[in-house]
Amino acid sequence: MLSRLVLRAAPAALRALPPPPLPVGVLHATRQLHTTQQSLAPLPPLPEKGGEVRHGLIPEEFFQFLYPKTGVTGPYMLGTGLVLYLLSKEIYVINHETVAAACILSVIIYGVKRFGADVAAFADKLNEEKMAKALEVKNEAISSLQAAIDEEKKEQWRVEGRTYLFDAKRNNVAMLLEANYRERLMMVYNEVKKRLDYQVAMQTLKRQKEQDHMIQWVEKNVVQSITPQQQKESIAKCIMDLKALSKGAHAAL
Amino acid sequence: MAGRRAALKAVDWAAFAERVPPNQRAMYNALKTRNDALTARLAALPEKPPAIDWAYYKANVAKAGMVDEFQKKFSALKVPEPVDTQSAKIDAQEQEAAKSTAEYVQASKARIAQYEQQLQKLKNMIPFEQMTFEDLHEAFPETKLDKEKYPYWPHKPIADL
């Protein structure tokens, strides 16, 4: 009974003890296991094809491993020997499952040999399409960024042209001022000239009118002053003159 | 009359036209037509009005002293030059434009730096054939599936599939 108590108490006592300090060598051992760098990014490109395999099952390395000692036929002899050993010692018993296995395996192998390449090509094509889409997205992004950079540069170049704008504006203002000033000068000149010309024109008009009036008046008076006596005398004189003239004309002819 | 002869700077309209962005063409055309109109108007006016022939008028106008009076007043007359109210505004505009231009150029340069950075990132990306999904999420953060917000597959709203 006492021994049962001790036996029951032993595990509790063992648990109560502080855990034994791990030997330092264990820690070092765990660290040594990770000899290569951990995160190897980017991944090195995966190999295109899997390891070489003979008869679809046995890796080529096995044959190479046995070649120095047993030559080319070594692995085959080993394989045959193993199979015969298993069969003869009935370690592998031939029963109905064997036949089933043979049928299933032959169908599977036939299927893989016939359709394997096509299925692989189809799967590759799917993958290629995904890659192509991703690549297209990337190229588009690159080209759009390039275009954006060029646009920005062009806009900067454009902005440099603002001096032209302000020069043009100042030119406009200067031209406007100049034109206004000249217009004012011209206006002053025109007004003064108009007034002076008016005066001159008024004077000439007045003089003309006076002249005309005087001429008329003189004529009127002269006509009035011709008395009837003078009229007869002047008419007689005219007739005599005419006769003299006609004589002279006859003589000339 | 030196004050008013503000030298007209020759404006290279061809170079100016090159730099006008297409959405401001109309304003540029308006400015150009205005400039052309003013040039034509200025060219039509002579620089100085012709001189008045005082001798002729003195000989012909009978009113005594009128011509003399006119001559005296005419030579004493100073035509006021039009006051320039806009140049100050234009200068102020130019200052403002310089400032806003500097800002714009700076913002533009910042944008270019950003674009350059993204471009470099894209160009230095590893080819897709060598990427894992983690690398893809690193390169394009928008492809990362938010497993906290949508804890159940497909980890994004069904509408986004």
What is the tens place of the pLDDT at every residue in A77-113?
999 999 999 999 999 999 999 999 999 999 999 999 9
Does residue B158 contact residue B149 with C-beta atoms inside 8 Å? no
Once rounded to an integer, what is the mean pLDDT over residues A218-223?
90
Q: Say how many Å lie between the first and final Cα of chain A, rounded.
A: 205
Cβ-count burial B74-111 (b if 16+ within 10 Å, e if not) = eeeeeeeeeeeebeeebeeebeebeeeeeeeeeebeee
Residues A248 and A250: their CA atoms lie apart, in Å, by 5
- B38–chain A nearest CA distance, Å: 6
CB contact under 8 A, B130 and A43: yes
CB contact under 8 A, A178 and B42: yes
- Which residue out of A163, A182, A183, A202 would a mutagenesis test of the B interface target, given it has the greatest number of B Cβ atoms within 10 Å? A182
Window 27-66 of B: residues touching A by CB (8 A cutoff) are 31, 34-35, 38-39, 41-42, 45-50, 52, 57, 60-63, 66
Radius of gyration of chain A (CA): 69
pLDDT, one tens digit per residue, over A136-189 is: 989 999 999 999 999 998 888 888 888 888 888 888 888 888 888 888 888 888
Q: What is the pLDDT of residue A121?
A: 96
Helix axes B25-44, A162-225, angle to 10 degrees: 30
Chain position carrying tokens 């690549």: A135
Residues A51 and B142: their CA atoms lie apart, in Å, by 37
CB contact under 8 A, A196 and B61: yes
Amino acid occupying residue A237: K
- A50–chain B nearest CA distance, Å: 16
DSSP bridge partners of A58: A54
CB contact under 8 A, B31 and A195: no
Mean residue pLDDT of chain A comes to: 83
CB contact under 8 A, B57 and A182: no
- Within chain B, what is the greatest distance between any pair of CA atoms? 116
ipTM metric: 0.73
> DSSP strand E in chain A: where?
53-54, 58-59
Tokens of B76: 């004493």
Question: Is 0.80 topped by the overall pTM?
Answer: no
